[in-house]
Structure 1
Amino acid sequence: MIPTVSTAGWCLLVVAAIAVGIAKTALPGAATLAVALFAAVLPARASTGALLILLLVGDVVAIAAYRHDADWATLRRLVPGVVLGLVLGAGFLTLAGDRATAVLIGALLLVLIAVTLTLMRRAGTSVARGRTSRLLYGTLSGFTTMTANAGGPVMTMYLLASRFAVAPFLGTTAWFFFAVNVVKLPLSIGLGVIRVETLRLNAVLAPVVIVSALAGRRLAIRMNQNLFDRLVTALTVVSAGYLIVGAM
């Protein structure tokens, strides 16, 4: 059940909804702020369910905005790894507690980020186009999104390592997470994570996500590649660190 939300709580949720919209159309990784704020206001299960619906709303705006920019070949090649990761993640959740999961995922992401950035600096070109790399990044993305709603950092690192320009980066990300979140939706409903109370809260916050996502699209158009890469990398590191710190 969702408890009565105070005025201060609603303010935090509105800020979280803005972060979701910006993350979907301009700065992947900003959604970490939304995760933190929702967890601070709502119980864990209600927070997860409410956020999933808002992420889907943001996904819809993003795929409309970048409908011509997705790299479908890349998405198709990631599918086997992602499916494997989702299965492994579901199995892992039956064995590990929330705290251990968050720390493990955070540590894995930080290692992945360090390795990816090191390889990119040494190679100077794409380092993630091979079959092994696709399987690794795809599996980790599916695993982390299933266990901690944290697939964003992995996908971000994969697309950065593949040297995607801003628009293809955001378009490919939009379709990827729309598909993943749609798959997670019936599972969340079946587990009771999404309930009528969740949808009522979403009805209030969804317009905020839509407006901020449209604003994010305008922001992304004005960003150069170097600034985009730096901001996305920084937010990805923050995302991984948050999982560890938040579990302490």
Structure 2
Amino acid sequence: MDTLTLWELAALAFASALVGFSKTAVSGANTVSLAIFAAVLPARESTGVLLPILIAGDVLAVLTYRRHAHWPTLWRLFPAVALGVLVGVVFMMWADDAAVRTSIGAILLLMASVTMARRRGAGKAAEEVRDEDAPDEDARGASAVGSRAGRIKARSYGVLGGFTTMVANAGGPVMSLYLLSAGFRKLGFLGTSAWFFLIVNTFKVPFSVGLGLIDTRSLLLDAAMLLFVVPGAYLGKRCVDRIDQRLFERLVIGATILGGLQLLLR
């Protein structure tokens, strides 16, 4: 922390608040946080610093939406996600900072493309997700896990989500796309996503410690940045119904693309 400038600390504080905001308001907004952390800190180490902050945001999301998870979907995803995480661990064992920086930049651009494709091709599903009065919203994902095609899709998304979350903490857009395509509505989407990332991010901690991504210095920085997660989550909860969703998503996508390009060209 003593090597960071005031402006760099302010950028990390903003990114930490955005993590809390994204967990209670707009899923996927924390892709901007990934870019900021990777730009301010060494890219490889930034993934370990950000992980405890993400877990804190996940805890707040679970406390808010814990009753709305669809557990059959989660159990279907977890084995494939674990495999993806392990592939990511192997990658991180040999990847240097330049390789991780390039990978994070490429993943951010990929996730921005996925998000734009989702917005174009899943407009109807997105409207259902935002419909707070729709009935039976916790059970909408049941059809996604029962068929053979559903199992194949879950495994594909799970491996990709596990790899991207281990390498860049960027599994959010992958899982958002999967849950939307499975037909989840608002509360079912938020509850299932909250539990998913709390469990998966906690699962990643021993691997991050073993890789040297989490240590005493990173935890000291986390302790300072965690102070900004709660206000961000509170602001998100208060503002979620007032946000122009389309404009906000466009800003997030634009910032993510700029962040990804900055990392690739750095």
| Fold shared, TM-score > 0.5 on shorter chain | yes
Residues 92-171 of structure 1 aligned to structure 2 (within 5 Å): 92-94=91-93, 97-102=99-104, 104-106=106-108, 108-109=110-111, 112-113=114-115, 116=118, 120=122, 129=144, 130-171=150-191
Q: What is the TM-score of this pair, normalised by structure 1?
A: 0.82
Is the Cα contact below 8 Å between 1:19 and 1:31 reproduced in 2? yes
Identity of aligned residues (%): 39
CA distance in 1, matches of 2:255, 2:165: 16
Contact 1:29 1:239 in 2 (8 A): no
* 2:37 alignment counterpart: 38
Matched, 1:22 2:21: yes
CA apart distance, 1:45: 4.2
Q: CA deviation at 1:76?
A: 1.3
Matches within 5 A, 1:225-240: 228=245, 231=248, 235=252, 239=256
Conserved? CA contact 2:208–2:214, under 8 Å: yes
What is aligned with 1:243? 260
Q: Normalising to structure 2: TM-score of the pair?
A: 0.77
How big is the shift at 1:105? 3.1
Amino acid in structure 1 at the alignment position of 2:10? C
CA-based RMSD: 3.2
- Rounded to whole Å, the distance in 2 between the matches of 1:52 and 1:163 is 29
Distance 1:59 1:79 in 2: 17
- Where do 5+ consecutive residues of structure 1 fail to align? none
1:82 match: 81
1:37-76 deviation per Cα after TM superposition (whole angstroms, max 9, x unaligned): 2233333344222211111111111110111122222111
| Local SS of the residue matching 1:199 | helix
Structure 2 unmatched runs, 5+: 129-139, 145-149
Could you tell me which of 195, 201, 212 is aligned with 1:192? Answer: 212
The C-alpha deviation readout for 1:220-244, integer Å capped at 9, x for no partner, is 3x269xx657855874675467435
Q: How many residues align?
A: 244
* 1:166 CA drift (Å): 2.4
1:209 matched residue in structure 2: 229
